[in-house]
Every structure is written in C-alpha cells, then in structure tokens.
C-alpha cells in the first residue's frame, strides 16, 4: 500500500495525505485549528469583560414625578408604595411633587423604605408647605448622597406672588458636573402666567450660582385643555431646550397630554440626553385602574453624562406579591404563583376625581376626563 495515500487525522477533524502532512503548510493549518477550538473561550472572556464594563455607568439619572396627592394613605398601601419605590429607585435624583401630608411624615417614611429596599444612601430636601388656602403641597428632592452632593437649596422668593406654589431650587454637584434643578407644579388655571414668570426665576438662579446650567422640571400642565404647546416656552433670556416633546404622553389616562416637562439651559446640555416619560403601567404590565392607584402621571427622566464611573443602578423589584387591600392587586411572574392573579376593577365612585382636580375661584372643584372639564366632589380638591 502506498503510504502517500494514507490519510492522517489531525485535531481539527481534517483528513490529509501523509505527503501533505510532511510539508510546512500543516503547521499553519494546525495553528489555525487550535485557534478555532480556543475561540469559544476567547468569546467567553470577552463577554465577561463586557459584562464587567456594563455593570458600571457614567451617567447621572434624574427624574421628576407628580405622585398625585401623596400622603400616609399611599404609603400605607403596600402595592402603591412598592410601585412608587420601584420607580424612584431608578434615579440618582428625583423631584417629587404633590406631597399632601400636614404631619410631614409620609415622605420620610418613603425615604426610609427607599434606603432599606435599595441599599443606597438617599437623603431628602423637603420644602415647606406651599400654596394658598387648603390646597397646600410640598416638594421634595430625593438624592443619592454617595453620587451627588447638595451645594444649596431654597424656595424661590416670590415677592410678586406670581406662583400658586413657588419653585423649589436645588444646586447639585457630582461626577464632575454642577447644575441647578428648579422644580415646580404649575397651577392648571395659571399656566401662561406662571410659565412667563419662570424667566424671573432663571435670572435669579443665574445670578446666584454664576452659570446657566439649569433644568426647569415638573408638572407644568402645559398641554391639552390648559395650554396650547404652539404658544411655546420662550419666556426666558435665552431659548430653552424642550426636552419633553409635545407629542409625548405623561399622563396615566386614555387621553394623551404632555403635562410634565423639562426645559434645559446652558453648556451642560452638551452632556444631557433627551427626556422621556417612564411608562410604569406598560413596563410593569398594570391595567389602567391599578396604575391610577399609583398616580395620574408618569415620571419623566433624563441623564447627564459624567466624568467618572458609578455602580449600575439596580431598581427595587417592581412586582410585589399580590395583596387584597383596597381593591389593589398586581400580576406577578414567578414560581410562587400557580396562575395569574385577576386584577379587580375599580368602581366609578373610587375614580371620580378625574385628572388634575382643581378648585375654581368660586370654590367649585373640577377634574379632567378625557380632555374635558367636569365638576366633581369637593373632596377631590382637599
């Protein structure tokens, strides 16, 4: 038998003639084969490296959330509280509006639960009670003190009485950036007047901090029946960056309204993303009735690119175990459930206040239903 006709099997599973094997070419082939066999381990190493990199981040995450009549009642409802905690734990800084708690207790209970659930070190800036008559509210900033520091904070001195609830201003510094947040909940019947008055607030901020790296944020009620976005937001000494666009929907409602806004100024905009609503109803797979137990608004969010690395945010789990409290329940995916839990419906009486209830000068209470104004119970405006 001619040995040159013999075939030899090499590690790659390739058969070659012995004469071919005795040449220099197989050495190259063998190296390529060995490299091919080691490729999966190289890929795994790359994936591990990428995974390690992805566990770090460089952007600060900032949010604004109108939690609709936030007080002890919401804190004491497990489903509602846990959903709120899951939402706000997404952020390094979050501006919270519509706190109505004359005991000043619910917001600090929420802060304690946030730190307990997230393992982070959030601190709070809480304003005094603002507003006229019985419709007083508080604002709050929750911020991760390991990531950002507060340089200053104050309620804008509204000597002209332009605002129903004065803006709450806070100066933050972290990850190589310094910037100012000016949060406000604009009264539905004074949108134009209060938007125009924000120009004075910006001038005050620019003078106080020596730069214009500022974001105005909050529930502006700047859409639908309260304001026509075509009128614009150019009420300042420079054109603002409109970070929430008019076509966005920030309401937990069948209607589509961009009530919640973010306006940006200054060179920091070069490092800032667009803003967008966080649709927790869709993200957490809630129906409309259960989502409205949390709020009639979605939070809006954006990020600022920093110069250093931070640990990745791990939000508090968003699907608590179903409970039967005040008609609140939620579908949970997990091995501990044999079948989905049916979400109970809410009777009309429990959802009769509509969107953004407000009191008229004649002390009548009105709410918005699918973009239409309707008189509702005076209890809705307490």
Q: Please state the separation of Cα 222 from the chain's center in Å.
A: 19
Whole-number pLDDT of residue 78: 93
The percent of residues in the chain predicted with pLDDT above 70, rounded, is 73
**pLDDT tens track for 167-225:** 999 999 999 999 999 999 999 999 999 999 999 999 999 999 999 999 999 999 999 99
Annotation marks residue 297 as catalytic: no
State the average pLDDT over residues 332-359: 46
Gap between the Cα atoms of 131 and 138, Å rounded: 9
Q: What are the angstrom distances between the C-alpha of 51 and each of 39, 45, 55, 92, 133? A: 18, 10, 6, 22, 54
Tokens 């175990």, residue located: 321
Give the residue extent of every domain in the chain.
Answer: 3-53, 58-311, 348-381
In this structure, the number of other CB atoms found within 10 A of the CB of residue 162 comes to 17
pLDDT of 7 above 50: no
pLDDT value at 80 more than 50: yes
Tokens of 318: 């968003």
**Percent of the chain topping pLDDT 90:** 63
Quote the pLDDT of residue 297.
98
Confidence of residue 24 (pLDDT cuts 50, 70, 90): low
Q: Mean pLDDT score of the chain, rounded to an integer?
A: 81
DSSP state letters, 267-322: GGGGGBPPPEE--HHHHTT--HHHHHHH-SB--EEEEEEEEEEEEPP-PPPS-PPP
Task: Using the predicted structure, report yes or no on whether residue 139 has a pLDDT greater than 50.
Answer: yes
One of 98, 166, 185, 356 is an active-site residue; which one? 185
Report the distance separating Cα 175 and Cα 275, nearest Å. Answer: 20
* Residue 344 pLDDT greater than 90, yes or no: no
Q: Please determine, for residue 85, whether its predicted confidence score (pLDDT) is greater than 50.
A: yes
> What pLDDT was estimated at residue 353?
80
Helix or strand (DSSP H, E) at 179: strand 177-183
Looking at domain 58-311, which CATH architecture does it have? 4-Layer Sandwich (3.60)
Residue of higher predicted confidence among 241 and 363: 241
CA distances in angstroms from 2 to 6, 9, 25, listed in the order given: 7, 17, 22
CA 64, 66, 71, 77 torsion-angle sign: negative
Residue among 37, 72, 134, 137 flagged as catalytic: 137
Q: Dump pLDDT digits (tens) for 166-177.
A: 999 999 999 999
pLDDT (tens digit, 9 = 90+) per residue, 142-164? 999 999 999 999 999 999 999 99
Q: Respond yes or no: is residue 37 known to be catalytic.
A: no
Q: Residue 13: is its pLDDT beyond 50?
A: no
């Amino acid at each position: 038998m001619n040995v040159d006709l013999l075939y030899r099997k090499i590690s790659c599973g390739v058969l070659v003639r012995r004469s071919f094997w005795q040449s220099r070419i197989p050495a190259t082939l063998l190296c390529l084969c060995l490299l091919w066999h080691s490729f999966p381990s190289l890929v795994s190493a790359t994936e591990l490296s990428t995974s390690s990199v992805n566990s770090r981040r460089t952007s600060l995450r900032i949010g604004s959330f109108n939690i609709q009549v936030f007080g002890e009642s919401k804190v004491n409802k497990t489903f509602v509280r846990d959903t709120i905690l899951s939402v706000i734990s997404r952020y390094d800084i979050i501006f919270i509006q519509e706190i109505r708690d004359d005991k000043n207790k619910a917001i600090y209970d929420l802060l304690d639960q946030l730190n307990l659930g997230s393992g982070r070190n959030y601190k709070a800036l809480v304003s005094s009670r603002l507003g006229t008559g019985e419709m007083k509210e508080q604002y709050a900033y929750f911020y991760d003190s390991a990531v950002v520091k507060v340089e200053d904070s104050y309620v804008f001195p509204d000597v002209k009485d332009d605002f129903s609830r004065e803006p709450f201003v806070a100066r933050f510094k972290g990850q190589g950036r310094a910037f100012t947040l000016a949060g406000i909940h604009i009264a539905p019947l004074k949108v134009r007047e209060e938007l125009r008055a924000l120009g004075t607030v910006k001038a005050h901020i620019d003078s106080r901090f020596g730069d214009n790296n500022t974001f105005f944020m909050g529930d502006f009620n700047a859409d639908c029946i309260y304001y026509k976005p075509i009128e614009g937001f150019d009420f300042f000494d420079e054109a603002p960056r409109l970070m929430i666009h008019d076509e966005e929907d920030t309401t937990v409602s069948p209607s589509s309204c961009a009530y919640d806004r973010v306006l940006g100024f200054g060179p920091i905009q070069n490092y800032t993303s667009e803003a967008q609503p966080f649709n927790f109803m869709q993200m957490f797979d809630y129906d409309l009735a259960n989502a409205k137990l949390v709020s009639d608004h979605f939070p809006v969010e954006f990020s600022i690119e920093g110069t250093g690395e931070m640990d990745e945010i791990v939000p508090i789990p968003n699907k608590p175990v179903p409970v039967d409290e005040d008609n609140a329940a939620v579908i949970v995916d997990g091995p501990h459930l044999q079948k989905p839990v049916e979400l109970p419906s809410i009777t009309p009486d429990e959802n009769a206040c509509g969107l953004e209830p407000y009191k008229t000068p004649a002390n009548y209470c009105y709410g918005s239903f699918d973009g239409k104004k309707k008189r509702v119970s005076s209890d809705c405006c307490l």
